[in-house]
Structure 1
Amino acid sequence: MELNHLTAVTPIDGRYRKQVQHLDNYFSEFGLIKYRVLVEIEYFFFLADKRFFKLPAKAKAHLKKVADQFSFDDAQQIKQIEAVTNHDVKAVEYFLKEQLDKAGISHLKEWIHFGLTSQDINNTSIPLSWKHAMEHEYLPALVNLQNHLYQLAVKWKEVPMLARTHGQPASPTRLGKEIMVFVERINHQIEMFASIPYAAKFGGATGNFNAHHIAFPKKNWVALGNEFVENTLGLQRMQFTTQIEHYDCLAAHFDAIKRINNILIDLCRDIWTYISMDYFKQQTKKGEVGSSAMPHKVNPIDFENAEGNLGMANALLEHLSAKLPISRLQRDLTDSTVLRNIGSPVAHVAIAFKSIEKGLGKLLLNEPKIKEDLENNWAVVAEAIQTILRRENYPNPYEALKDLTRGNHKIDKKAIHQFIQSLKVSAAVKKELKSITPANYTGVHPSF
């Protein structure tokens, strides 16, 4: 069968293709080839700028056009060359040498890929594509999701709600504040993510500029390598490397994304639980079916879909971060095939983000149910009462409230007020205690 959305092996390129197809600019075979071509051309320009050779302006314009307008046909041409060379980066080199022929500078062909090994190209083009994907796709989508949560937090900031610790009724809270918990957690992780460098390797076959130095021993190749990687490509060059990059910073990115995913799984499970408690209803869409057998159901599928995709992403990220920093001696090939999969967890995360956004957009607050739960759990004000009694130096207040609130008898407003009335405290303190309700015993938190 020909490859299409129905025949794709993975749902990333099948069922969910429309949701993640923008990622092919960074993580597809086409994307990888495009970034390799970009790095090779930029290095060629860099050598010309450093006066290793003179590059005519017309030829430079031609090569810049090749990089800026790199096409699917160009990528196919490189794949055809690879079918002969059986080496992907060498195929890029030969393609660019053909472009130099077309530009009328055949005498400069050996400056393409000068002194480099394939990993100088892979370990700059992959970090560069990763950086662009993070800055243009992942982080903006995450910030948008965080902003959506913040808007909901503001919308529901005054809604009192029964809290639950260990699944049991606990000191009341406010719904908006509970959403702000996730806003804050995501914000901290974004800050930590942003502090991780986009690291690159660029230094020849085993990281020592051997070929560069033997050809031009008077040149400061360490300084030149740093300048090219950092100023031209916008990456951070690692100073002591083997044939490949350490991947420690890339692993740190993977681990950071994994932590963010865990936070979002936590969010999905909380919202799912609130829906099951009837704190939220979900908007329905005409024609949609919630259950194949039970017409009344509207399942929280968006949060379930997100949780599943975040879990898939984490499984891949765990292997990537554990495997990539490990390589035998100066290099083995196990990183090569693994690196080709870094787009997969990003795709699963992108699907999850869209599902969470969709699910959040369908939530309808069911305040009557929230108020009903508060009213049915007057026992939660026991903490407030015993704390004020401690302030008043009342003997054994915790034990007195424990005897009142434990057992099978119903604890409602009437029972609480009868208990307060029996206390040997001033009328002012009794009035203060009677003013406490499950709906107003929600504490304080920073403004937002």
Structure 2
Amino acid sequence: MIPRYSTPEMDAVWSDPARFGRWLEVELLATEGHAEAGIVPQEAAEICRAKAPTSDEAFVERILEREQITDHDVAAFVDTVQAEIDDPAGSWIHYGLTSSDVGDTALCWAMRDATDLMIDAAGELIATLVRIAREHADTVMIGRTHGIHAEPTTFGAKVALWALQVDRDRQRLRTARDAVSVMKLSGAVGTYSNIPPEVEAFVGDRLGLAPVPATQVVARDRHAQFLYACASVGATCEMMAVELRHLQRTEVREVQEGFKPGQKGSSAMPHKRNPISAETISGLSRVLRGNLSAGMQDVALWHERDISHSSVERVILPDSSQLAYYVMRRLRRLLDGLVIMPERMQANLDASYGLVFSQPVLLSLVQGGKTRDEAYRIVQRNAMRSWDEGLDFRTLLEADDEVDDSVLDDAFDLRRSLSNLHRVFDQLEEIGD
């Protein structure tokens, strides 16, 4: 991931020293598991642990130098580790294993750790959304469908629905975490021909990863599920970002991204205050969806394995977790600094001449004995005149001989329109940690 969208926490999960450190731990645990099974001398396993190199940048450099000769990253890693431990103990490193045993187990370990960070970020985003929802539970605004005024709602209700969706994404992340918290040390085609299952169980227990049946590789539907959870996070964050972008438009201006001292919205136009965070989130969500498509294509491999997935995963797995984590944190910062304009929301609600009450008027006329089609045509006729001539909708209805004025007070009652919104906020109480 380019530095612009990376974070120190996720960098620490996917860095080369972390990756090779995981490989090294898998190798050492496998050696110790073999020792417990009576296959490797116990003293040799202890020497391997004691003389194992530290996985730092210098260690990475030595592996990369060796890879120039082997043209195989795991072989270069094994050669480097064995050389540093030295024979005879070092010869037991990688005993009975194939490259994917090490690489796939370590990769699942990394995905699990990355998912933990994303789950925490989702929890923090939910907390921010719930706070804003409750603060603005009674902040009335117009609800829009197709971009057109529909009926009244509140800004708090809008944000509460966002919180509920992020909570669903958090559950998707938890499910994906379960799917990738697995490992395999079962050899070249998964038959345990050169490594006993108890060694796999030993390593899995120490790493907190569940051994699963596999070919040479862990099945890639698990990785695709991880990528879907990341892409779903992106889609949810984009859903919020697109709404905030629309609400910040000059002619709407109901919310506005924060603008810090010294910030410039445009190099040419000093008046600009653009929704840059929301637009960035929208853009990065497209990358997340593209990565999911690539991950789905990685599920189908030749026979017990090929490496067509490997090059793809080196890019999309770190990048997707980085981006999903980044967009949640970027959105939370956006929301923490969001400028909310209740007066503008009320003004926009009033700008459509009371037309937002057309449905309760329609229903009142039906209750008064008119057929639905008759009532619809009466309301529509007056509504279109209100739009076209800029006249108050209720005044037109009061002047219409086919309308019973006595039903209009209830139909135009804003409190009646919003009286059941508490159901949305009741759902917030069910969001757990």
Q: TM-score, normalised by structure 1?
A: 0.83
TM-superposed CA distance for 1:419, in Å, is 5.2
Aligned length: 413
295, 303, 310: which one pairs with 2:270? 295
224, 230, 234: which one pairs with 1:261? 234
| Alpha-carbon distance in structure 2 between the residues aligned to 1:394 and 1:355 | 53
State the identity as a percent. 20
Q: Secondary structure at the match of 2:417?
A: coil
1:52 counterpart residue number: 39
Moved more, 412-421 or 244-253: 412-421
Q: Does 1:36 align with 2:23?
A: yes
1:3 counterpart residue number: none
2:431 counterpart residue number: none
Q: TM-score, normalised by structure 2?
A: 0.86
Following superposition of structure 1 onto structure 2, how do residues 235-246 of structure 1 map, counting pairs within 5 Å?
235-239=209-213, 241-246=214-219
Alpha carbons of structure 1 residues 372 and 100: separation in structure 2 relative to 1, 3 Å: same
| Alpha-carbon distance in structure 1 between the residues aligned to 2:98 and 2:207 | 18
Q: Does 1:73 align with 2:62?
A: no
TM-superposed CA distance for 1:177, in Å, is 0.9
356, 372, 376: which one pairs with 1:398? 376
TM-superposed CA distance for 1:343, in Å, is 1.0
Moved more, 260-269 or 84-93: 84-93
| Alpha-carbon distance in structure 2 between the residues aligned to 1:189 and 1:128 | 21
Alpha carbons of structure 1 residues 175 and 416: separation in structure 2 relative to 1, 3 Å: farther
| Alpha-carbon distance in structure 1 between the residues aligned to 2:378 and 2:50 | 81
| Alpha-carbon distance in structure 1 between the residues aligned to 2:297 and 2:309 | 8
Structure 1 gap ranges (5+): 1-11, 213-220
200, 207, 216: which one pairs with 2:183? 200
| Alpha-carbon distance in structure 1 between the residues aligned to 2:286 and 2:172 | 21
One-letter amino acid of the structure 2 residue matched with residue 192 of structure 1 = R
TM-superposed CA distance for 1:236, in Å, is 3.1
TM-superposed CA distance for 1:62, in Å, is 7.2
1:284 counterpart residue number: 259
TM-superposed CA distance for 1:268, in Å, is 0.6
333, 337, 342: which one pairs with 1:367? 342
| Alpha-carbon distance in structure 2 between the residues aligned to 1:371 and 1:52 | 77
Deviations along 1:384-418, one digit per CA (max 9) or x if unpaired, are 12223434444543332222212313342651662
Following superposition of structure 1 onto structure 2, how do residues 384-423 of structure 1 map, counting pairs within 5 Å?
384-395=360-371, 396-407=374-385, 408-412=388-392, 414-415=394-395, 418=398, 423=403
TM-superposed CA distance for 1:93, in Å, is 2.2
| Alpha-carbon distance in structure 1 between the residues aligned to 2:248 and 2:286 | 21
Alpha carbons of structure 1 residues 167 and 177: separation in structure 2 relative to 1, 3 Å: same
Root-mean-square deviation (Å): 2.7
| Alpha-carbon distance in structure 2 between the residues aligned to 1:129 and 1:64 | 24
One-letter amino acid of the structure 2 residue matched with residue 170 of structure 1 = A
| Alpha-carbon distance in structure 2 between the residues aligned to 1:229 and 1:323 | 30
TM-superposed CA distance for 1:273, in Å, is 0.3
| Alpha-carbon distance in structure 2 between the residues aligned to 1:176 and 1:379 | 22
Q: Does 1:85 align with 2:58?
A: no
Alpha carbons of structure 1 residues 110 and 351: separation in structure 2 relative to 1, 3 Å: same
1:20 counterpart residue number: 7
Aligned partners of 2:125 and 2:328 also within 8 Å: yes
Alpha carbons of structure 1 residues 61 and 415: separation in structure 2 relative to 1, 3 Å: farther
TM-superposed CA distance for 1:366, in Å, is 1.4
